[in-house]
Structure 1
Amino acid sequence: MAKLAFIGLGVMGFPMAGHLQKAGHDVTVYNRTTAKAEKWVENYGGASALTPAEAAKGADVVFTCVGNDDDLRSVILGDEGALAGMSEGALLVDHTTASALVARELADVAGERGIGFVDAPVSGGQAGAENGQLAVMCGGGDADFARAREVMTAYAKACECFGSVGAGQLTKMVNQVCIAGIVQGISEGLNFAAKSGLDPKAVAKLVAQGAGGSWQLENRANTMADGEFEFGFAVNWMRKDLGIALEHAQHVGVSLPVAALVDQFYGDVQALGGGRWDTSSLIHRLRVLGGDAS
């Protein structure tokens, strides 16, 4: 059993912290909305704190899972940030999907205080978090990663380190680029099937058994066919993630034409009022706007 802190109880962090508590660890949570932290304690036990620093005090490992680079800085740095409450020898593990630059920035600050750092964005969506079946993409030193992985087994079905700090965020960018292209392809395929007089659900069921199969097809085809998008990973967050990837691609001189185009398509979905819809809502854009990319 370890003494842990978990900062950020969104749709991912809430169940992830719960898995840690259920695994027998002593978990203290912090969330910007106090009522959410109180609800977590009611569901899982453990304790809540009023600041990240208070939550992190005495913790062996502190986990963060918030929205973006600025959110991350706000809960880690400053007098009330997590680092202010952490002791030398502790470990900070960040599950936020953020930039590789902020991961390296925070790792440097933590290192000056003798605190380890692992960037560890996740994939698997809300269902993966709730079921403890996440894929965790990490960057950090070998010893820090080994220490983090031992605890993250509570909610990870796969967990790998791809290099030094920042490598986890770069790997997550790859993940999001792949998803963008896949979901657009599925949207076009299912829309094509429906317009051609086929049953898109029946087609998807068969295609999923062959080379065209994917997690997205197996888990989203039926809801896409039914026009149901009020769940899952929001378009607003996907655009944030793709923006990070596109910015990094420009920095390293890599072309991401499909990701850039799909990012524009997600912008259309936002304009249609679907910013909070699941990313599979790309098919709605095709139904309303057709194939026009202008």
Structure 2
Amino acid sequence: MANIGFLGLGVMGYPMAGHLQRKGHAVTVYNRTAARAQKWVAEFGGADAATPRAAAEGQEFVFACVGNDDDLRSVALGENGAFAGLARGAVFVDHTTASAAVARELHAIAKQNGNGFIDAPVSGGQAGAENGALSVMCGGDPDIYTRVEPVISAYAKASRLMGPSGSGQLTKMVNQICIAGLVEGLAEGLHFAKRAGLDAAAVIEVISKGAAQSWQMENRSKTMIEGKFDFGFAVDWMRKDLAICLEEARRNGASLPAAALIDQFYAEVQTMGGSRWDTSSLIARLERSR
């Protein structure tokens, strides 16, 4: 069992840190809103710290799960950042969905300081975090990953080293590109079924047994038909992730016409007041256009 710091107790980080504590690790948490950290301690035990640096001091591993590149830098760097508190040889693991560039930046700084760094974005959503069934895609040095993998298993059903630093973030970009296309296809299919006078639920029951089946179909089709969009990853966050994908594509020369178009569809959902709706709300813009 390890001494662990955990930074960021949002909808993902809160249960992930909880799994670590329940598996027997000694976890110290930090959250920008201190009341959230105090609530976590009351529920799971462990301890809370006033700064990322304090949460990192004396720990073998420090995990972070925050919002974006700037949030990640704010908890990692500076006088009160986690890197300032890390003992030589400790490992920083970042579960934030962020850019590959910031992963490489922090990896270089950590290595210079005698520490390990793994970029390890996750897929599986809030339910996956709560159930300890996330898929974790990692980038970094193989020897560091070997140390981290048994700890990550506390909340992961699958974890894999994808390559050098930044590879985890690049893999997560592939994940988000694929999800965007799947959700738009499902939204258009359901919209078409309704306009054609079909029973949309019956259509899904049939086609979900064939080649069209997907996680999105299994988990979101019913609520999409009902026009309910409070069941997962928010549109604001999906647009943040797609912006990272499109920026990386500009850098590496990849062509992402569908992802760029779907990003604009999500912008339309935002103008409808759907910033906090889940990503399946793409169907709402189609229904509005009737």
Do they superpose with TM above 0.5?
yes
- Residue number in structure 2 paired with 1:240: 240
Q: Which runs of 5+ in 2 are unaligned?
A: none
Aligned to 2:252: 252
Matched, 1:149 2:149: yes
SS at match of 2:72: helix
TM-score by length of 1: 0.98
> SS at 1:67's partner residue?
coil
CA distance in 2, matches of 1:201, 1:147: 46
**Structure 1 position 205, deviation (Å):** 2.1
- For residue 162 of structure 1, give the secondary structure of its aligned residue in structure 2: strand
How far is 1:231 from its partner?
Answer: 2.8
For residues 6 and 199 of structure 1, the distance between their equivalents in structure 2, rounded to whole angstroms, comes to: 47
Q: CA deviation at 1:289?
A: 2.7
Q: Distance in 2 between matches of 1:64 and 1:286?
A: 37
| Structure 1 equivalent of residue 3 of structure 2 | 3
Counterparts of 2:209 and 2:125 in 1: how far apart (Å)?
Answer: 22
Q: CA deviation at 1:149?
A: 0.8
Structure 1 runs of 4+ aligned residues shifted over 2 Å read: none
Tell me the residue number matched to 2:84: 84
Deviation, 1:204, is 1.3
Q: Could you report, residue by residue, the CA deviation over 1:251-286 in whole angstroms, capped at 9, with x for unpaired residues?
A: 111100000000000000000000011000000011
1:20 is paired with a residue whose SS is helix
1:136 aligns with 2:175: no
Contact 1:137–1:169 (8 Å) recurs in 2: yes
Following the alignment from structure 1 to structure 2, what is the Cα–Cα distance between the partners of residues 64 and 162? 19
* Contact persistence 1:21–1:27 (CA under 8 A): yes
Over aligned residues, Cα RMSD in angstroms? 0.7
Match of 1:25 in 2: 25
Structure 1 vs Structure 2: percent identity of aligned residues? 63
CA contact (8 A) 1:125 1:233 kept: yes
Unaligned runs of 5+ in 1: none
Q: Which amino acid aligns with 1:16?
A: M
Amino acid at match of 1:26: A
Give 1:195 deviation, angstroms.
Answer: 1.3
Whichever residue aligns with residue 257 of structure 1, its letter is P
Separation in structure 1 between the aligned mates of residue 201 and residue 147 of structure 2, nearest angstrom: 44
Number of equivalences: 290
Three-state SS of the structure 1 residue aligned to 2:67 is coil
**Within-5 A mapping of 1:82-121:** 82-121=82-121
- 1:163-218 deviations in whole A, cap 9, x for unaligned? 00100000000000000000000000011111111121221122111100000000
Q: Any residues of structure 2 matched to 1:52-63 within 5 Å, and which?
A: 52-63=52-63
TM-score normalised by length of structure 2? 0.99
1:217 aligned residue: 217
1:205 equivalent in alignment to 2:217: no
- Compute the displacement of 1:147 (Å): 1.1
Per-residue deviation, residues 121-171 of structure 1 (Å, max 9, x unmatched): 000000000000100000011111111111010110010111001000000
Q: Contact 1:205–1:218 (CA<8 Å) still a contact in 2?
A: no
Determine if contact 1:17/1:27 at 8 Å carries over to the other structure.
Answer: yes
In structure 1, the residue matched to 2:159 is 159
Matched residues in 1 for 2:162 and 2:219: separation?
A: 27
Question: Is the Cα–Cα contact under 8 Å of residues 7 and 64 in structure 1 kept in the other structure?
Answer: yes
User: In 2, distance between residues paired with 1:205 and 1:132?
Assistant: 28
Could you say what secondary structure the match of 2:163 adopts? coil
Q: Please report how far the alpha carbon of residue 237 of structure 1 lies from its aligned counterpart in structure 2 after TM superposition.
A: 0.4
Amino acid at match of 2:156: A
